[in-house]
Structure 1
């Protein structure tokens, strides 16, 4: 922020900051793996009075993943976002947004989750309008209005919760609600939180704002939004529905399961209906949200491990796919599939990289989408949710069809008109995209090394006492 006109200095500072953050996140991840859940209460106030930050395995994994994605987006931006946007506080906005995202993942206080949501939203308001194109300004109004309504509802719902339990510390809320037991007011508050976080996470029918709003900004911004923002809403649902809204599972979690199935169905329809590459991948975000929440709603070990695995997979694979289609749009000058064709001849590396990422998204073994979805379906069968699990499997075919359609239209057939792109720019765009695709492949192939981390994350979600004990012992 101190040198807005010195782009090189901004780039160097941003990359150094992100690399230091990534190193810190990896150290924290190792610390959580060896020593268990880490809790820090600021200002030396004993819980539940102080503001608590908590790192368990799921939050540590999500923080690491979000920093990785931000690093690749910044790298990609050097050759794609344009100097005008870079001079208009583009990099500070990314870092502020990352602060909000990581704060939401690690806060142990439900009101501070609202605060961190606002931090990331304020930064996203800057990013969505940066450049001032007509479509951006039009969509930003809808985006801001929806989030203002959502944020107002968030504060009201936190107020309702506070009036019942008299605390904002999430560990303390868990203990107090377990003592109250099943009560109608708790179920109402749980549903209100589902609406609040459902707007952020784009569940059915609250995803209406997402496709057009996300498609408006440039590709690097779309990548950040698509990979991270909906995941904060999904994480918040998973956290609240496993930590304290567990007194009326017969209603709340059945509702969550029904909504997750409808979310997948809506996403599938959208992914098949459009010929716009951005919209196809954006609707695949909606499908993934449904799959993750379906696993979380089952509340058994296999499904929860699968949900955590699929959540991290989706952050990485969506990032890779958006970066790749950004290159396709740059070459063709359009996002309309019907105006593309024959890119395979001149850009074979781009074509095969996209196909690998597409197969990863659809869950073709041994790529990363397969393991998470397999565990979720296995958990569904164990929980005797037979037709829902079969529906999840069937949705994979729709995902495959939607992304292979992009491959056939854009890369096969007769070569259509393209824009001139210098070999240097092409290389600079392709390198971060291919590197991210390689990371997603390693994430799938090396899943056996990651399962202990995913198991730890699932154990904390399924056993709230692990979380509450760490806060009350570690925060004092």
Structure 2
């Protein structure tokens, strides 16, 4: 037990340092793709292992802060490991590892023309470092740095191959991201001008002494910046046009992970810096509109990638719903749902990559007969699709029930409207994934409007006789093991959230307790805390989850 702070202090910077060092080594090994692949996978395996140890220690011993370079807070850079940040590190590292194995398997089997290894792997590792830094950041500026590192890397990954469509989508993504970053910088400037610090723990103390109007203005600026990154309506229009054009592995990690970094930032700042609930109603309305408008957009799509991009936007609304409730139950449900959605959404995009490879398209107007042609591919889609739709006993059902129950416990008029909206959204999500199943997997390819098949056999899905470039396609053969194994692995990890729902919910409950009692965070960083925090409903933080 006495060695635990030392161990955590040693391990805390590694999720950032390891991928950065590996990225540098990959650049040195630019002419040796096999060595680059080995270095990348080894680095991400190490990050995953370190993250799991950090989660175990954080759950056992509580929140720990590392003062980088020995500078005492708030003067230096602070990295903080609590249950929330450690859980996010574990889930993100698992996803990042699975996606890179998938990408390497795809490149070995089909070639790397659209994702040159010498560029792709170092950039991917830089993205990993940015994501990890954002989760560990103990101050606003370091959080900004984490965002910028992952955004710069994402610019490169999004435009790999340099096709006109990808560059066009990349320009849109870059413009939105630059605007978001400028707004974030404005929020940082306003925060420092009002408080004289950017350290989260010290900000939590100093915000109590500044006028309510100033606090609301700063929170509004930060919410807009994070809302763009998280794709919260009405700041989400950029996402469905940007993600589907990228290569399948890039789309998978973008859709599954990057928006959740924005959700994490909202969760962290809302609970730590602005716990008075002044913007909760605004967040509840935003969550409702994000859920409903996102799923209506999904219903209108016939291309699976765009359809899943809209469901991604829609389900961000559930996470915002839980945060806006400002209760332990709401936060716990939101934490669990974030972990669930990262895994399920990433898995579905990887499966769509397999569909594109095997069938030559991801358009519902061209697909059919996939269940007969590849029962394994059908199962790989069906399990995460039902999970996304919230069918019991999957983790999607558990997370949604937790959030809806938290809304019912809140019992305000707006919370009840969110409960109704969440229920309708869940049913419509099930309708959307069922439509994909019936059109792409269940019906015959000959019945598709643009199927153009000439044979009723199961392999007819490969006899592409439509106008795009199907005639010139080479039979893709069997699905590569290197792409199948990580996809199956992510399906299994997603199912583990159901099989081991009790322990996972226990972790999310304890993470919510830490978020509700911000004195835990302040004490870990500064070593002291002043007056206990009082929430908008008049309760002291120590009444719920205090230590």
TM-score range, shorter chain: over 0.9
Alignment map for 1:299-310 (pairs within 5 Å)? 299-310=326-337
Return the match for 1:238 from 240, 259, 267: 267
CA 1:102–1:421: 2 relative to 1, 3 Å = farther
Kindly state the Cα deviation for residue 426 of structure 1 after the two structures are TM-superposed. 3.7
Match of 2:305 among 278, 296, 300: 278
Q: Which residue of 1 aligns with 2:349?
A: 322
Of residues 103, 109, 112 in structure 1, which corresponds to 2:139? 109
Q: Indicate the residue corresponding to 2:430 in structure 1.
A: 400
What is aligned with 1:41?
67
Distance 2:133 2:298 in 1: 32
| 2:194 aligned residue | 164
Q: Does 1:139 align with 2:169?
A: yes
Q: Tell me the residue number matched to 2:246.
A: 217
Query: What is the alpha-carbon distance in structure 1 between the residues aligned to residue 73 and residue 279 of structure 2?
Result: 28
SS of 2:275's equivalent? coil
* Corresponding residue number in structure 2 for 1:452: 506
Aligned to 2:449: none
Instruction: Give the C-alpha shift of residue 118 in structure 1.
Output: 0.6
Structure 1 contact 331–420 (Cα < 8 Å) conserved: no
How far apart are residue 213 of structure 1 and its match?
0.6
Matched residues in 2 for 1:264 and 1:158: separation?
29
TM-score by length of 2: 0.84
**1:17 alignment partner, one of 43, 58, 72:** 43
Q: Over aligned residues, Cα RMSD in angstroms?
A: 1.5
Distance 1:173 1:107, change over 3 A: same
Q: Supply the distance in 1 between the matched residues of 2:480 and 2:373 (Cα, whole angstroms).
A: 12
Match in the other structure for 2:231:
202
Assess if the C-alpha contact under 8 Å between 2:105 and 2:481 holds in 1: no
Number of corresponding residues: 472
1:325-361 CA-partner distances (Å, limit 9, x unpaired): 1111111211210110011112011112211111111
Instruction: Output the CA distance in 2 between the equivalents of 1:424 and 1:348.
Output: 12
C-alpha distance in structure 1 between counterparts of 2:311 and 2:375, whole Å: 24
Q: Distance in 1 between matches of 2:307 and 2:363?
A: 11
Checking the alignment, whether the CA contact within 8 Å between 1:355 and 1:404 is kept in structure 2 is no
Largest Rg, 1 or 2: 2
CA contact (8 A) 1:305 1:457 kept: yes
**Contact 2:52-2:90 at 8 Å conserved across structures:** yes
State the alpha-carbon separation in 2 of the partners of residues 111 and 277 from structure 1. 37
Q: CA deviation at 1:161?
A: 0.8
Aligned-residue offset at 1:124? 0.4
Residue in 2 aligned with 1:256?
A: 283
In structure 1, the gaps of 5 or more residues are none
The Cα shift of 1:253 comes to: 1.1
TM-fit CA distance, 1:49: 1.2
Q: Does 1:67 align with 2:93?
A: yes
2-side partners of 1:362 and 1:371: how far apart? Answer: 11
Residue 421 and residue 306 in structure 1: after superposition, are their counterparts in 2 closer, same or farther (change >3 A)?
A: farther
Q: Does 1:387 align with 2:417?
A: yes
Structure-2 residue corresponding to 1:189: 218
**In 2: Cα distance, 1:348 partner to 1:116 partner:** 41
Q: Distance in 1 between matches of 2:475 and 2:56?
A: 43
- Going by fraction, where is helix more abundant, 1 or 2? 1
- Alignment TM-score, normalising by the size of structure 1: 0.96
Q: Unaligned 5+ residue runs, structure 2?
A: 1-26, 446-452, 454-460, 463-472, 529-547
